């Protein structure tokens, strides 16, 4: 008997949407200042993890919470385990929302909230795929385990801890990208550029801050500058207005005697696609670089404005690389921090790099291009190497076949700069939940997921899980 997956999902639409809305109301941003032994990434990620696991308990699955780092929802029997990897943490909401980012709103057949497309919506769709199979009592020859993470957007400390206590599934997928499939992911590393925080010019850079996470293009930036004299403010403001007239940013300056606070707004985007954003940090540095700063402040502003600004492929920094299969390296200048008189200033450079180059090559390129400005670099600890599962692997072939059967569209392999939990397994990929042609709002204001895509992905996930585990 053939299962009508679309009918089964349709019968559960209201329940699926209700569960998703409950998850979206949890503000699951990582908050290190509120972390405890019982909430290693802060109260929000823990609450969202517990909420997701509670669905599994309600629906009669075997559920395990691994010390509030991660957990899993499991059913089935067999010697092999199919793993599905989702995450409940989200990047900070940031500014620019038309609605409350943690009160889901449905309009124009889309659900708006932080996490709706990354990754609470896709996770719920995959969970309901499991739920349908269980409720129908369909026979399986493998275990199916949904692993729920709570630190995917930061350092993957959740999975490091989880796999110290639990065995890895044999193969699987993460519903945290797009269809038809993502079977290759570029390497991912952040290098920290270190500068002196000295000031020696007639202008003084008191502070410069921009960015929320390494995997986000900074959507806003703020600098506090002391002018040579309070009377110089008029000329400074004229220059700022001319700058915003010529560039796709907005800005305002407020004066307190000779000190000026400049706030500049660009557009946030996913760090894997830096060209899709408008980097407020590099634009503000580009503007300020025209004034009489000197010392470490000058190096900080000049390197950010001349070498990092719109250097999406790393050519200015001397690290550009292209691989025939995996494509080009990308660079996102993500976190900027300068405080006058502090020990040092830093800029975080997040690289997504293809096979064929290395972290050592990136460090060498930076040394050659910007080392003369007194810049040194160090590696951030979270480093992911390039990952690829061949298109003829049975896992990839099966998932593509399911996609083709339900969409009527030809499946094809894809390689991305984003990093998903699919790469946790040697035979792991990302699969859905966004369909070709979708509007990417991940890590942006007004993030949404189309409801038709949500329900259609649940149909595909249900069939895919069953074919892989039956």
The pLDDT value recorded for residue 3 is 97
- HSE value, Cβ hemisphere, 13 Å, CA-based, for 79: 0
Q: Are residues 120 and 48 in the same domain?
A: yes
Q: Are residues 424 and 344 in the same domain?
A: no
Q: Is 271 exposed, middle or buried (0-12, 13-18, 19+ CB in 10 A)?
A: buried
Name the token pair of 162.
């989880």
Q: Are residues 375 and 414 in the same domain?
A: no
Per-residue tens of pLDDT for the chain, all 470 residues: 699 999 999 999 999 999 999 999 999 999 999 999 999 999 999 999 999 999 999 999 999 999 999 999 999 999 999 999 999 999 999 999 999 999 999 999 999 999 999 999 999 999 999 999 999 999 999 999 999 999 999 989 999 999 999 999 999 999 999 999 999 999 999 999 999 999 999 999 999 999 999 999 999 999 999 999 999 999 999 999 999 999 999 999 999 999 999 999 999 999 999 999 999 999 999 999 999 999 999 999 999 999 999 999 999 999 999 999 999 999 999 999 999 999 999 999 999 999 999 999 999 999 999 999 999 999 998 899 999 999 999 999 999 999 999 999 999 999 998 889 999 999 999 999 999 999 999 999 999 999 999 999 999 999 999 999 99
Domain endpoint, select from 345, 379, 413 = 379
Domain endpoint, select from 349, 379, 409 = 379
Q: Are residues 217 and 144 in the same domain?
A: no
* CATH number, domain containing residue 181: 3.40.630.10
DSSP output for 113-132: STTTTTTHHHHHHHHHHHHH
Q: Which of 72, 220, 58 is nearest to 158 (CA)?
A: 72
**CA–CA distance, 272 with 447 (Å, rounded to integer):** 16
Q: Are residues 181 and 198 in the same domain?
A: no
The pLDDT value recorded for residue 296 is 98
Q: Are residues 129 and 192 in the same domain?
A: no
Residues with catalytic roles: 89, 152
Angle at 377 between CA 376 and CA 380, to 5 degrees: 155
* CATH number, domain containing residue 328: 3.30.70.360
**CA–CA distance, 238 with 415 (Å, rounded to integer):** 45
Contact 285, 301 (CB under 8 A): yes
The pLDDT value recorded for residue 155 is 87
Q: Are residues 461 and 318 in the same domain?
A: no
Q: Are residues 154 and 241 in the same domain?
A: no
The pLDDT value recorded for residue 1 is 61
450 forms beta bridges with 110
**CA–CA distance, 208 with 262 (Å, rounded to integer):** 9
Q: Are residues 32 and 80 in the same domain?
A: yes
**CA–CA distance, 96 with 75 (Å, rounded to integer):** 42
Using CA atoms in the order 197, 200, 201, 207, what is the torsion angle rounded to 10 degrees? Answer: 20
Query: With b meaning 16 or more CB within 10 Å and e meaning fewer, what string describes 406-423?
Result: beeeebebbbbbbbbbbb
The β-bridge relationship of strands 428-430 and 171-174 is parallel
The pLDDT value recorded for residue 374 is 97
The pLDDT value recorded for residue 382 is 85
The β-bridge relationship of strands 143-149 and 81-87 is parallel
Q: Are residues 206 and 310 in the same domain?
A: yes
Domain endpoint, select from 364, 379, 394 = 379
Q: Are residues 94 and 171 in the same domain?
A: yes
Query: With b meaning 16 or more CB within 10 Å and e meaning fewer, what string describes 71-91?
Result: bbbbbbeeeebbbbbbbbbbb
**CA–CA distance, 428 with 155 (Å, rounded to integer):** 19
**CA–CA distance, 174 with 179 (Å, rounded to integer):** 11
Total number of domains in the chain = 2
Q: Which of 220, 223, 221 is nearest to 206 (CA)?
A: 223
Cα distances (angstroms) measured from residue 424 to each of 86, 146, 162, 458:
12, 13, 12, 22
Q: Are residues 90 and 120 in the same domain?
A: yes
Residue 246: which residues within 8 A CB-CB, separation 6 or more? none
Q: Which of 95, 297, 56 is nearest to 195 (CA)?
A: 297
**pLDDT tens string 63-84:** 999 999 999 999 999 999 999 9
What range does the domain containing 421 cover? 5-186+386-469
Residue written as token pair 């599962």: 389
Helices 43-58 and 13-24 cross at an angle (nearest 10°) of 160
Q: Which of 462, 417, 422 is nearest to 440 (CA)?
A: 417
């Amino acid at each position: 008997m053939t299962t009508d997956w679309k009918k089964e999902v349709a019968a559960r639409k209201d329940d699926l949407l209700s569960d998703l809305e409950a998850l979206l109301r949890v503000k699951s941003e990582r908050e290190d200042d509120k972390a405890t032994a019982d909430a290693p990434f802060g109260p929000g990620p823990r609450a969202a993890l517990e909420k997701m696991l509670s669905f599994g308990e309600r629906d009669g699955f075997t559920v395990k919470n691994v010390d509030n780092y991660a957990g899993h929802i499991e059913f089935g029997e067999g010697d092999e385990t199919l793993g599905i990897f989702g995450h409940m943490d989200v990047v900070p909401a940031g500014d620019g929302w038309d609605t409350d980012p943690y009160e889901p709103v449905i309009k124009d057949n889309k659900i708006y909230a932080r996490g709706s497309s990354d990754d609470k919506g896709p996770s719920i769709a995959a969970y309901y795929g499991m739920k349908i199979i269980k409720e129908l009592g369909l026979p399986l020859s493998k275990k199916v385990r949904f692993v729920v993470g709570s630190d995917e957007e930061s350092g993957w400390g959740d999975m490091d801890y989880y796999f110290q206590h639990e065995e890895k599934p044999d193969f699987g997928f993460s519903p945290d990208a797009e269809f038809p499939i993502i079977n290759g992911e570029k390497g991912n590393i952040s290098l920290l550029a270190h500068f002196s925080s000295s000031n020696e010019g007639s202008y003084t850079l008191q502070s410069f801050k921009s960015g929320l996470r390494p995997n986000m293009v900074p959507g806003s930036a703020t600098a506090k500058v002391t002018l040579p004299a309070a009377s110089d403010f008029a000329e400074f403001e004229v220059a700022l207005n001319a700058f915003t007239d010529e560039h796709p940013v907005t800005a305002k300056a407020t004066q307190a005697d000779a000190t000026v606070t400049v706030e500049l707004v660009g557009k946030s985007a996913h760090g894997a696609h830096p060209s899709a954003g408008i980097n407020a940090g590099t634009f503000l540095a580009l503007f300020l670089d025209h004034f009489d700063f000197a010392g470490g402040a000058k190096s900080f502003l000049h390197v950010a404005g001349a070498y990092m600004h719109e250097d999406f492929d790393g050519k200015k920094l001397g690290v550009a690389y292209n691989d025939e299969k995996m494509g080009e390296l990308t660079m996102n200048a993500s976190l900027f921090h300068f405080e006058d008189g502090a020990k040092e200033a830093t800029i975080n450079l997040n690289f997504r790099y293809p096979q064929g180059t290395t972290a050592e090559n990136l460090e060498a390129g930076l040394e050659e291009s910007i080392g003369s400005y007194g810049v040194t670099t160090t590696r951030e600890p979270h480093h992911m190497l390039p990952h690829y599962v061949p298109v003829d692997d049975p896992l990839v072939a099966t998932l593509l076949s399911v996609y083709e059967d339900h969409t009527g569209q030809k499946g094809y392999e894809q390689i991305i700069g984003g990093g998903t939990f699919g790469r946790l397994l040697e035979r792991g990929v990302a699969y859905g939940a966004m369909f070709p042609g979708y509007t990417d709002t991940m890590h942006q204001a007004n993030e949404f997921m189309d409801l038709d895509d949500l329900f259609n992905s649940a149909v595909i996930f249900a069939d895919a899980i069953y074919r892989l585990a039956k």
